[in-house]
Chain A
Amino acid sequence: MINLIYYELLKIFKKWRTYIGFIAIGILIPLIEFVLYFSGQGIIENTTKRLEQDFILVGNLFNGWFVTHLIMNSLWIHIPFLICLVAGDVLAGEASAGTYRILLIRPVSRDKILISKYIATLIYTLSLVFFLAFISLGLGLLLLGTGDLLIFKDGLLILPQDELWFRFFLSFLFASYAMCVVSTLAFLFSSLVENSIGPIIGTMAVIIFFFIIGNLPYDFFITLKPYLFTTYLDVWTLVFDEKIDWSMIVKHILILSIYMLSLFLPTYLLFRKKDILS
């Protein structure tokens, strides 16, 4: 099985499209951080101007932690899109290239092939999120230094510097897990079609549609919201509460796990019995 995963990873990482995500992050994040380094101080000044009438704010609030926290908002739409580029291609790419015909004629079970592809997809997802963490935190702290973290969430919250390594580690860990749901959805769509464009567009359409209806302030949509997986993709934000609500995090993780399982199960059942006609 490890062998199969190795070769699936080889296939993923030998493809040019795999690096689009890494290149996009590798260019955009440093660009954002350099721009913020030269002109971003205004953001903090504008925000804290009114507060300074009542409080004395000391220390470096416009720091690497703050910028990384800002950048993590790309986890709503941008990073899922980069994940879909690869996850949507893992199965559909084999169909469109005709390589199922050399792969599935081997004396190895389809279950093993599917599971190895899925694990390789999850590894790619984790690597992309951790690359985002490495670049945004690494460069952010190097350029803008460290300090307490200023957060605007139901008011103003300042998290002390000494907790931030742990909080950001958890945050990226949970973000990776949430992104695995996105890749599982793209993987499901990828098993249904023979062209990777469909799974990419399909996954993004579902995410955007769910985000929109999950945020509409009408009773029907409010009732619907707990059933949408996008509601729980924000699990990474929960570690930035003043007091971490572990029960809420566990609930989110459990629900995301159920979604992952219920998206993977049909993929598995379909793939086992799928006629390979490509």
Chain B
Amino acid sequence: MNELVLKTNNLTKTFKKKKAVDSLNLEVLKGDVFGFLGPNGAGKSTTIRMLFGLIFPDCGDIEIFGKSLKNNRRNALKDVGGIVEKSDFYLYLTGYKNLELLSSLSGKVDKKRIFEVLEIVGLKERAHDKVKTYSHGMKQRLGIAQALVSNPKLIILDEPTNGLDPQGMKEIRDLIKELSSSQNITVFISSHLLNEIEQIATRMAIINQGKLITQGYVKDLLNSEETKFFFKIDDKEKATNILTEKYSITDITILEDGLECKLKNDIIPYVNKSFVESNIKVYAITPKRTLEEYFLSVTENNEKY
């Protein structure tokens, strides 16, 4: 299960003396939903463009399924599909024709497979409409269809939920989970939203200013840091007492419909249990973690040690 699917070795790219990606070492394992996190301008898209050979690295190498992209691009990308930034298509062609054209570049055109992927993304009914008539969400879904059309074993998605409404974001996330679990496709997904990656990824890497900050299993990385949680509850006073006395939490913010405090992920079930046993009604427990806050905590910890 720990077979390496994608590996970057000291990947570096400079634009006009500014290092967009700086000695990046990533490891994606077979079966991963690998979250690639970073704020806007961190170097995510540059990295992804290098993974596809759209941009040439200044130094370093990329291995996909054990094959060097530099020396064996065709074989390295044979089982890879993806979206780079937003999904742009030939607007004057139909969705079907776009997929036919693109799959011809990957080998042979399989009409059955084209309709299959259009069905997966819910666009079968619109297959013969020109892409210029598609909404933004439909184009993103067509983007995923083109990533899947050549039966890839690895798909690389660059912020696929960008610009989508909450419903569209959920659909894409569900689709990614489905692809990973039922079709056994390894997924590499970039995002600037920590909570998005938290929901779907098994492993993740975080970059900032082109440098790798951390990499590992999502559970391990997020549980090791304290997160701000919002508790929607009825008895705030009683809850504050429990948190202070039983869990030694002092930094508590009382809000109109509940309270907020920082604590580790793994004690959440116990806190919840304590509240319920004390007859406090718990309506919701929501993590209020942002990528920026997470960065800060990781950086602070790095500085400590």
Tell me the A residues contacting B by CB distance below 8 Å.
3-4, 7, 10-11, 14-16, 97-109, 113, 273, 275-277
**A107 in contact with B73 (CB, 8 Å):** yes
A113 to B73, CA, bound (A): 14
Q: Which of A7, A98, A105, A109 contacts B104 (CB 8 A)?
A: A7
CB–CB B101/A7 < 8 A? yes
Per-residue A-contact encoding for B72-113, CB less than 8 Å = 1, 0 else = 011111101010111111111100010001101111000000
- Report chain B residues within 8 Å CB of A16: 92
Determine which of A4, A108, A113, A275 lies in contact with B55 in the assembled complex, contact meaning CB atoms within 8 Å.
A275
Contact A11 B54, beta carbon cutoff 8 Å: no
B102 (CB) vs chain A CBs: closest residue: A102
A269, B89: Cα distance in complex, Å:
26
CA distance in complex: A104, B52 (Å): 8
Q: Which residues in B have some Cβ–Cβ distance to A below 8 Å?
A: 49, 52-56, 73-78, 80, 82, 84-93, 97, 101-102, 104-107, 143, 146, 150
- Which B residues are in CB contact (< 8 Å) with A99? 88-90
What B residues does A3 contact at CB under 8 A?
104
User: Chain A's nearest CB lies how many Å from the CB of B20?
Assistant: 11
Besides A102-B84, A102-B102, A106-B105, 12 new A-B residue pairs in contact (Cβ under 8 A), listed by A number? A10-B93, A14-B93, A97-B90, A99-B90, A103-B105, A105-B84, A106-B150, A107-B78, A107-B80, A109-B73, A109-B74, A275-B55
A-B contact count (CB 8 A): 80
Whole-angstrom CA separation of A155 from B146 in the bound complex: 64
Chain B residues within an 8 Å CB radius of A7: 101, 104
The 9 closest A-B pairs by CB, nearest first: A98-B88, A106-B105, A276-B54, A105-B52, A107-B77, A101-B84, A275-B55, A108-B105, A7-B101
Hey, which chain A residues are within 8 Å of B73, CB to CB?
Answer: 107, 109
Contact between B106 and A275, CB atoms less than 8 A apart: no
Show 7 A/B contacts (Cβ-Cβ < 8 Å), sorted by A.
Answer: A3-B104, A11-B90, A14-B90, A15-B92, A105-B84, A107-B74, A273-B56
Closest to A99 in B: B88
Q: Could you tell me if B54 and A4 are in contact, using CB atoms closer than 8 angstroms? A: no
Q: Are B104 and A104 in contact (CB under 8 A)?
A: no
Determine which of A14, A104, A107 lies in contact with B54 in the assembled complex, contact meaning CB atoms within 8 Å: A104
- Select A14's contact among B82, B92, B104, beta carbons within 8 Å: B92
Residues of the B chain whose Cβ atoms lie less than 8 Å from the Cβ of A4: 104-105
Query: What B residues does A11 contact at CB under 8 A?
Result: 90, 93, 101
- Cα distance, A14 to B91, chains bound together (Å): 10
Task: Say how far B143's CB is from chain A's closest CB, in angstroms.
Answer: 8
Chain A residues within 8 Å of B150, by CB: 106
Closest approach, in angstroms, between the C-beta of B159 and any C-beta of chain A? 13
Q: Which residue of A lies closest to B85 (CB)?
A: A101
Most chain B beta carbons < 10 A, residue from A102, A104, A109, A113: A102
A242 CB, min distance to chain B CBs, angstroms:
49
Instruction: Write out the residue numbers on chain B whose beta carbons fall within 8 Å of the beta carbon of A275.
Output: 49, 54-56
- B88's contact among A101, A106, A109, A277, by CB below 8 Å, is which? A101
Residues on A with C-beta less than 8 A from B87 are 102
Inter-chain contacts of A276 with B (CB < 8 A): 49, 54-55
On whether the beta carbons of B77 and A106 are closer than 8 Å, the reply is: yes
* Residues of the B chain whose Cβ atoms lie less than 8 Å from the Cβ of A15: 92
